[in-house]
Amino acid sequence: MIDRSVLSTSNKKNDSLIGSAGLVSGATTFSRILGLIREQVMAYFFGAGMATDAFVAAFRIPNLLRDMFAEGALSAAFVPVFKEKAVKESTQEAFSLANVVISAVLIVVGLIVLLGIVAAPAIVYIMAHGFTDSPDKFDLTVGLSRVMMVYLLLVSLSALVMGMLNSFGRFGIPALSPAMFNLGTVLTVFCLYHYFNQPAYTLAIGVIVGGVGQVAVQLPSLLRIGYRFHFRLSFLDEGLKRVVRLLTPMIVGLSAGRVNILVSTLLASFLMEGAISYLNYAYRLMHFPLGVFAVALGTVALPKASELVARGEHDKLGRTFEEAIGANLFVVVPSAVFLAVMGRDVIELIYQWGAFSAVSSERTALALLHYSYGLIGFAAVRVTVPFFYAFKDSRKPMIASIISVAINLILYYPMIRLLDFAGLAAATSIAGLVNFILLLRWLPALGIDISMARVGLKTFRMLVAAAAAFYISRLMPYQFAFDPATLPGRIVQLVVPLLFAALLYLLFCFILRVREVGLLKRFFVRK
């Protein structure tokens, strides 16, 4: 029996993929701005040296597990099963499944956290072996990783709560929850920096404070939909088994993808001092448009596609995918061109203060240049994969991920020889594009009517429009009234050409008949 209250709530809250994505995008933009402030605070207080290298390497450990078990695989495996329960059975059956899954996560992830704390020296030895040449750096990385390991449990709970709320068409508050993480980190550094002999520990404590905030901010919304948690551990529960069956290939695929990060960190630890930090700062900037637009669309697409599959409305999936990938590319393509052309200006405005030098800006900009062309692939994968998961097909994304990782590993050595530390970014970008192409080729096998040629032509038109817009924009003399060494000068140098390029991009897209121009209002204004 179908619970009509669930369906009506979902339909009212999620009547438009683009409208809902606009809501998530707005919330995510706020979160990403706080994330950039967090990076600014980190750059100001710690620069690009031993402390930041240690923190970045240490955070990679719980972050890796988070991507695999929490925000990545766990939520992607949970939402389709939870949504199907709500649509085909009842709200209470869906809540019962949630109780079983949350109880299992508390036990299993809790044990993983304890194991990670005990095994931290061995994990750091493997992930950042180059740090063994500096005992102080190695010990600091171990200490930071032990503190931050608890974040894995917090973010696992946050991801499950987010999945439940998204399934009910509640997207705004869950999308704001990462802002609590960034806010917690920033406030902790400001409040505790001067109270530690090793101030880097304030970053680690901030991660835990932020994780608590990430869960807490969603609890009122969870209570409003009628959910009450009751510990119910049953590893034989059929719903839990289905989640685990979906989860296993997802973990393999995501584990393969995270091998890129592990190997990148390992190789960067043998390169110049600050290499890990340069790559990290660049990666964070690249993730701003990725998180604001691609993740927003992917977040909305998973419950939407899962509902269409549960209802048997497969004919609507092709249109839904075309709408999602088109809106995604329309924003991400010019973002990639912007980061490639004006990345140095962005870095100088955001990071080049305090301990962060002009040399650090130059090297971070080089890494960002080579991450920029991978942004299109990374973003497109975020939107495409949920359609496989909606069909409970986690095998093909796993295979695509493994193939892209293999290509990445093959490219690392020649790219490092050619581009030094920036070669790690270049190899990752190429692998990301390959991942998307593979998924796009396999998508029609699900019964989703799409055309690679149509997507390719759309992308090419957007690239032409964006390249022309930023080329013309850069020719204009914006800095004549301001000193580019000052804050106003840096802002003018970045914001004015960006706004001019955005207007030109819209004009050129209109001339080239890119239909997504008409979706712009729908993307930013929720129906």
Domain encompassing residue 33 = 13-450
Residue 191 makes CB contacts below 8 A (sequence gap 6+) with none
Scan for tokens 């004549």, then name that residue.
480
The model's pLDDT over 295-322, given as tens digits with 9 standing for 90+, comes to: 778 878 888 888 888 877 777 888 888 8
Considering the chain, what is the average pLDDT of its residues? 84
Q: Is the pLDDT assigned to residue 198 strictly greater than 90? A: no
Q: What angle do CA 450, 454, 456 make, to 5 degrees?
A: 115
- For residue 103, being part of any structural domain is answered with yes
CB contact set of 355 (below 8 Å; sequence gap of 6+): 43, 44, 45, 46, 47, 48, 49
Percentage above 90 pLDDT, the chain: 31
Residue 486 domain-assigned? no
pLDDT of residue 69: 60
pLDDT at 98 over 70: yes
Mean pLDDT for 433-454 is 86
Task: Give 322-336 pLDDT, tens digit per residue.
Answer: 888 888 899 999 999
pLDDT at 482: 63
User: Which pLDDT belongs to residue 72?
Assistant: 62
Confidence bin at 176 (pLDDT 50/70/90): confident
Do 83 and 75 form a contact (C-beta atoms < 8 A)? no
Q: Is the predicted pLDDT of residue 368 greater than 90, yes or no?
A: yes
Task: Please say if the pLDDT value at position 13 is more than 50.
Answer: no
The residues, any chain, with a CB within 8 Å of residue 193's CB and separated by 6 or more, are 45, 199, 202
The H helix count followed by the E strand count for the chain is 22, 0
Rounded to the nearest angstrom, the gap between the alpha carbon of residue 125 and the centroid of all alpha carbons in its chain is 26
The mean pLDDT of 147-160, rounded to a whole number, is 91
* For range 508-518, the mean pLDDT: 86
What pLDDT sits at residue 505? 94
Condensed to tens digits (0 to 9), the pLDDT of residues 209-222 reads 999 999 999 999 99
State the pLDDT at residue 71. 58
Domain contains 226 = yes
Report the pLDDT value the prediction gives residue 468, as an integer from 0 to 100.
95
Rounded CA-CA distance 178/157 in Å is 13
Is 325 within the bounds of a domain? yes
Answer yes or no: is 499 within a domain.
Answer: no
Return phi, psi of residue 514, to 5°.
Answer: -85, 110
Confidence class for position 166, pLDDT limits 50, 70, 90? confident
Q: What is the C-alpha to C-alpha distance for residues 304 and 507, in angstroms, rounded to an integer?
A: 32
Whole-number Å distance between alpha carbons of 477 and 470:
13
Q: Are 447 and 314 in contact (CB under 8 A)?
A: yes
Residue 414, pLDDT > 90, answer yes
pLDDT of amino acid 108: 92
> Does residue 456 belong to any structural domain of this protein?
no
Do the domain assignments include residue 7? Answer: no
Does residue 328 fall inside a structural domain?
Answer: yes
Residue 14's pLDDT is: 40
Tell me the pLDDT tens digit for each residue of 234-252.
Answer: 888 899 999 988 888 887 7
Average pLDDT of the segment spanning 97-110: 94
**Confidence at residue 210, expressed as pLDDT on a 0 to 100 scale:** 93
Is the pLDDT reported for residue 416 higher than 60? yes
Q: Which residues contact 293 (CB under 8 A, 6 or more apart)?
A: 21, 25, 327, 328, 331, 332, 335, 379
**What pLDDT was estimated at residue 480?**
55
What pLDDT does residue 7 have? 41
Number of domains in the chain: 1
